[in-house]
A and B are shown apart, each in its own frame.
Chain A
Amino acid sequence: GAVVSQHPSWVICKSGTSVKIECRSLDFQATTMFWYRQFPKQSLMLMATSNEGSKATYEQGVEKDKFLINHASLTLSTLTVTSAHPEDSSFYICSANMVSEAFFGQGTRLTVV
């Protein structure tokens, strides 16, 4: 199947700093990518839809100024958590679709201390 790669796999940052997470589709082009957040033992919650060449679409309740999404090319979307705080600590997962099937990255564990 298609491969979606996320980097980094885990990151620890200090409160108040910003963290960038990359999501790449390695063997296919993705005009749309999705960003999810998952708390321990909980389901995946869609944060935003990343659209190549245009603004991201955020789900209700997600702060777009805090979670900056850039989809600069057909194979790369980035999520930047700005001014991170401990409550932003979570598992962030991206996905990209090829035809009807969604392929997920391996996730990024963000810990804000």
Chain B
Amino acid sequence: QQQVKQSPQSLIVQKGGISIINCAYENTAFDYFPWYQQFPGKGPALLIAIRPDVSEKKEGRFTISFNKSAKQFSLHIMDSQPGDSATYFCAASRYGGTSYGKLTFGQGTILTVHP
């Protein structure tokens, strides 16, 4: 019930291409879905997040698509750049309740963008 499944494990994209990473969750109580970017030896940094009351959110080159009925959400990186090469994690949490702030992470996707 607490799992978040992420795919693919790794992704290679050419510069300028679109990177797509997918996540699926089981716990319908989750109501906050962030994506994090992590560089080697660093802590994760928030990229973009979505609440289930909207189906899409865009910030610059990053877009989250959210499908509540399918319990799936995805990250799209448009015009991918070599500097985007990093590990990406999806996560989910409950905005309220006793689990407030506890993030359940997906397994991570290693993105490599070739110049």
Do A and B assemble together?
yes
Q: Is B43 within 8 A of A107, CB to CB?
A: yes
The chain B residue with its CB closest to the CB of A109 is B41
When the two chains form the complex, which single residue of A34, A43, A95 contacts B107, counting CB atoms closer than 8 Å? A43
Interface 9-residue window, one of B11-19, B53-61, B74-82, B97-105: B97-105
Number of interface residues of B (CB under 8 A): 22
Q: Is B32 within 8 A of A104, CB to CB?
A: no
The chain B residue with its CB closest to the CB of A49 is B102
Say yes or no for A93: interface residue by CB 8 A criterion. Answer: yes
B46: chain A residues at CB < 8 Å are: 1, 101-103
Q: Mark A77-104, 1 if CB is under 8 A from B, else 0.
A: 0000000000000010101010011111
When the two chains form the complex, which single residue of A42, A43, A104 contacts B43, counting CB atoms closer than 8 Å? A104
Q: Is B107 within 8 A of A107, CB to CB?
A: no
Q: Is A43 within 8 A of B34, CB to CB?
A: no
Say yes or no for A32: interface residue by CB 8 A criterion. Answer: yes
Given A44-B44, A93-B43, A105-B43 in contact, is the A100-B95 Cβ separation under 8 Å?
yes
Say yes or no for A15: interface residue by CB 8 A criterion. Answer: no
Interface residues of A (CB under 8 A from B): 1, 4, 6, 32, 34, 41-46, 49, 91, 93, 95, 97, 100-107, 109
7 A–B contacts, CB within 8 A, in A order = A46-B102, A46-B103, A46-B104, A102-B101, A102-B103, A103-B46, A104-B43
Other CB < 8 Å A-B pairs besides A32-B100, A42-B108, 20 of them?
A1-B46, A4-B43, A32-B101, A34-B102, A34-B103, A41-B110, A43-B106, A44-B105, A45-B105, A46-B104, A91-B41, A97-B100, A100-B32, A100-B95, A101-B34, A102-B101, A102-B103, A104-B43, A105-B43, A107-B43
